[in-house]
Structure 1
Amino acid sequence: MARDLVNFIKSPKERLLVEKTIKNKIYDTIGLFLIKVIFSVMVASLLQFIYKPENLTSTSMAERFSPLVLLMVGGIVLPLFEEITFRLSLRFNPIYFALTSGTFTYYILTKAVFKSRLSLLDDTFLYRIFIAIIIVLLAYILYSRKNIKSALERGWKKHFRMIYYFSCASFAWLHIFNFELSFINFLWMPILTLPQLFSATIAGYTRVAFGFQYPLLVHMITNIFFLSITFLSID
């Protein structure tokens, strides 16, 4: 399992001929999940002693939602959104790429343009949703054109290594928006977002090798796990 992951990270391929049963895929996914949790806890524990800025996103959500709603939003809705944005299109398909284009547009509009939160229902929410839906529809029409679809498929196969690395880096580094956008936090960005980078490398592998549902479920379980620990620590 670990060898397959390392080999994939060193030389990512869009299509893997992984002859594994569903049972073995589940076992491998659980093993990778445990590795990810252990790594994340180690990094988080180390940061406790070195540098620990406030996670503004977690604080904002905790203030706006009840524990049950927070588990629903943080443990189900946001993981689904992020997996569509950063992992779904690792296997090229016009509808996948259109959905990714729409959710990525929503992400950038929310974080960089309107300086808002993904789950915040403020006065910009409908604008963000409307623009994202328009992008999905236009992108699907465009990407489904035969000549464009063929060109994208060739590009995906030829440049998949960079596409995979970009998905990992963007997933991790965009999480810097969870913190105050200060100079010191940007300096610490590679360390602050290291758990997300490690998570993205594993999620990208499981998405390509096993299917979209595997990294999605792991992402949901991970978020629910850490949110539950937060509730217990508050109690």
Structure 2
Amino acid sequence: MTISYPLIKPKYYKSLLIDLVSFIKSPKNKTIVEKSTTNKIYDTIGLFFIKVVFSITVASLLQFIYDPENLTSISMTKRFSPLLLLLVGGIILPLFEEITFRLSLKFNPIYFALTSGTFTYYILTKPVFKSRLSLVDETFWYRVIPAIILLMIIFLFSSTKPIKMMLQNFWQKHFKMIYYFSCISFAWLHIFNFELNLTNLLWLPILTLPQLFIATIAGYTRVAFGFQYPLLVHMSTNILFLSLTFLPLD
């Protein structure tokens, strides 16, 4: 029996990039059913390796050109113990972000409601109150309560038959716009990880380029394979990099 190891073959990564670029150029709201779970796992891991290489390359180049301080990572390491940091940064926040930016790429009333609620919390937290997603401060309930109320209202309305059908048709006709919006909003909202000054705003497209690339891959795997694939990759990546911060490097 011949055993295939696609992850060690350069041609395999070329094929993955071709599929990814093809999807980005013309996004289709279609699940790939002909691939087995094993092949989907291989593809997800392969795309993860591509993402890591790209992100490290861009981050390394930026260090020589412009490297502003990431305020979010500093804030979290100060506020949480190592175990809590892994729980919040490695599990809770990835789940929150995947629900916010990827879950509703496939339309479903509960998906749409959850995304609307979490996106509202995100906007109220970062641009409006200039707080942190994981920070329970004096603005916390002002951020949470409107998000929960909106979530419930949207679920009730989008579950009614006429509105549900209207939204389903909108998703089919305008999926390209929805996919691009999810990618760009995910990337550009990460500018709030840095100090909001004129220089950082001018550098926004470059500073958030790794997040934009991550979003295109995560959106593709969410639509083509299922929500669990980008979610598990997001969690694994965060846990890995957070764990590395605990190593004694002195």
In the alignment, does 2:227 pair up with 1:215?
no
Instruction: Say if 2:32 and 2:225, in contact at 8 Å, map to a contact too.
Output: no
Which residue number corresponds to residue 140 of structure 1? 155
- CA shift for structure 1 position 234: 5.2
Deviates more, 1:38-47 or 1:175-184: 38-47
Q: Alignment partner for residue 57 of structure 2, among 35, 42, 57?
A: 42
Corresponding letter in the other structure for 2:94: P
Corresponding letter in the other structure for 1:132: A
Q: Distance in 1 between matches of 2:249 and 2:221?
A: 33
Runs of 5+ consecutive residues of structure 2 not aligned to the other structure: 1-15
Q: Alignment partner for residue 125 of structure 1, among 140, 146, 162?
A: 140
Identity over aligned pairs, percent: 74
Q: Distance in 2 between matches of 1:46 and 1:226?
A: 19
Deviates more, 1:152-161 or 1:126-135: 126-135
Which residue number corresponds to residue 209 of structure 2? 194
Which residue number corresponds to residue 175 of structure 2? 160
Q: Distance in 2 between matches of 1:176 and 1:19?
A: 38
Q: TM-score, normalised by structure 2?
A: 0.91
Q: Secondary structure at the match of 1:52?
A: coil
Which residue number corresponds to residue 149 of structure 1? 164
Corresponding letter in the other structure for 2:152: L
Which residue number corresponds to residue 95 of structure 2? 80
Which residue number corresponds to residue 91 of structure 1? 106
Corresponding letter in the other structure for 2:221: T
In the alignment, does 2:128 pair up with 1:113?
yes
Corresponding letter in the other structure for 1:33: F
Q: Secondary structure at the match of 1:232?
A: coil
Instruction: Say if 1:86 and 1:100, in contact at 8 Å, map to a contact too.
Output: yes
> Considering only CA atoms, is the larger Rg found in Structure 1 or Structure 2?
2
Q: Distance in 2 between matches of 1:113 and 1:233?
A: 38
Deviates more, 1:41-50 or 1:15-24: 15-24
- CA shift for structure 1 position 233: 6.3
Runs of 5+ consecutive residues of structure 1 not aligned to the other structure: none
In the alignment, does 2:181 pair up with 1:169?
no
Which whole-Å deviations, capped at 9, do the CAs of 1:178-211 have from their partners, x for residues lacking one? 0000000011111110110000000000000000
Corresponding letter in the other structure for 2:46: G
Which residue number corresponds to residue 24 of structure 2? 9
Which residue number corresponds to residue 44 of structure 2? 29
Instruction: Say if 1:14 and 1:208, in contact at 8 Å, map to a contact too.
Output: yes
Instruction: Say if 2:98 and 2:230, in contact at 8 Å, map to a contact too.
Output: yes
Q: Distance in 1 between matches of 2:246 and 2:205?
A: 27
Q: Secondary structure at the match of 1:34?
A: helix
Which whole-Å deviations, capped at 9, do the CAs of 1:2-59 have from their partners, x for residues lacking one? 2221111111011134411111110110101111111111111111111111111111
Which residue number corresponds to residue 77 of structure 2? 62
Q: Secondary structure at the match of 2:67?
A: coil
Q: For the aligned residues, what is the CA RMSD?
A: 1.2
Q: Distance in 2 between matches of 1:88 and 1:139?
A: 15
Q: TM-score, normalised by structure 1?
A: 0.97
Q: Alignment partner for residue 181 of structure 1, among 179, 191, 196?
A: 196
Q: Secondary structure at the match of 1:79?
A: helix
- CA shift for structure 1 position 125: 1.1
Q: Secondary structure at the match of 2:28?
A: coil
